[in-house]
Every structure is written in structure tokens, then in C-alpha cells.
């Protein structure tokens, strides 16, 4: 089982604005901000029920976006559509969809990047729910 994912970002405020707007919609909540010496500026998110997997934003002035895409599953296509509207309003770019991707089965998703180019996806995957 996945335990956590750390996302390194140059602009923590922009990344947090986008993910704070999406968090509740994708089943997460922000749990922390930290000014601890080992993690200054860290912002963490856990599942809405208080569990894992968690993800966090780590300020990193040398961070460069990679090719990894972090995908979040939701229950319905309507939730994917709503997520697409949220990301459009909160600084996402390179937005593709929402739409059906039959090459993956019953797979409906929106793909986007944050302001720094980190890649994300929100999907309602009918086959995974069965």
C-alpha cells in the first residue's frame, strides 16, 4: 500500500492554493503546515477519514517538474467535471479534458499541471470500482 508522496515545489503558496481548493473534492484534507528546521514550510494532506496515503508539499527552490503524474480517484464523472472547474479557477495549466479515455477502459479523467509543471490527474475509473 502507498504510504505517502512528497511533491517538491518552488512556490509553496501557489501549489497550496491549488491543492487546498481540490483537497476536499478528492477526499483529502490539509493537516499541517510546518516550520520545523528539518521541514520548513511543509504542507501535508491526509485522507478525509484521517488515513493514508498522505501527500505533502515541500518547498524546494531547486525543484524541477518531472514526468511523474499523481492521479487521484473519485467516484463519479460529475466529480471529475467539478475538479476540472476547480483547477481552471486555481492556477492549473495544460488542462486536458475532462473526457472519456476508452483506450484505458471505462476511464474518465482530467489531466493538468500545477503552475510549476507538476502533473496531476483526477479520474473516475469504472473498471477500478468494480
Length of the chain: 130
- Owning domain of residue 90: 4-129
Query: What integer pLDDT is reported at residue 128 of this predicted model?
Result: 62
Domain count, the chain: 1
User: CATH number, domain at 32?
Assistant: 3.10.180.10
CA 15 to chain centre: 10
Query: What integer pLDDT is reported at residue 130 of this predicted model?
Result: 54
Query: What integer pLDDT is reported at residue 66 of this predicted model?
Result: 87
User: Do 37 and 43 form a contact (C-beta atoms < 8 A)?
Assistant: no
DSSP assignment of the chain: ---EEEEEES-HHHHHHHHHHHHGGGTEEEEEEE--TTSTTEEEEEETTS-S-EEEEEE-TT----S-EEEEE-S-HHHHHHHHHHHHHTT-EEEEEEEE-GGGSSEEEEEEE-TT--EEEEEEEHHHH-
Q: Does the global pTM surpass 0.85? A: yes
Query: What integer pLDDT is reported at residue 3 of this predicted model?
Result: 92
The one-digit pLDDT tens for each residue of the chain (130 residues) are 889 999 999 999 999 999 999 999 999 999 876 655 556 788 999 999 988 999 999 999 999 988 999 999 999 999 999 999 999 999 899 999 999 999 988 999 999 999 999 999 999 987 665 5
Question: Which cell numbers in the block locate residue 17?
Answer: 492554493
Query: What integer pLDDT is reported at residue 69 of this predicted model?
Result: 95
Amino acid at each position: 500500500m502507498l504510504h505517502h508522496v512528497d511533491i517538491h515545489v518552488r512556490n509553496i503558496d501557489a501549489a497550496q492554493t491549488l491543492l487546498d481548493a481540490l483537497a476536499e473534492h478528492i477526499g483529502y484534507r490539509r493537516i499541517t503546515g510546518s516550520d520545523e528546521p528539518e521541514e520548513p514550510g511543509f504542507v501535508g494532506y491526509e485522507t478525509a477519514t484521517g488515513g493514508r496515503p498522505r501527500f505533502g508539499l515541500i518547498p524546494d527552490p531547486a525543484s524541477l517538474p518531472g514526468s511523474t503524474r499523481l492521479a487521484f480517484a473519485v467516484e463519479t464523472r460529475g466529480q471529475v467535471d467539478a475538479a476540472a472547474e476547480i483547477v481552471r479557477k486555481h492556477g492549473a495549466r495544460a488542462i486536458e479534458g475532462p473526457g472519456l479515455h476508452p483506450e484505458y477502459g471505462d476511464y474518465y479523467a482530467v489531466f493538468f499541471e500545477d503552475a510549476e509543471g507538476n502533473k496531476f490527474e483526477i479520474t473516475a475509473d469504472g473498471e477500478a470500482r468494480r
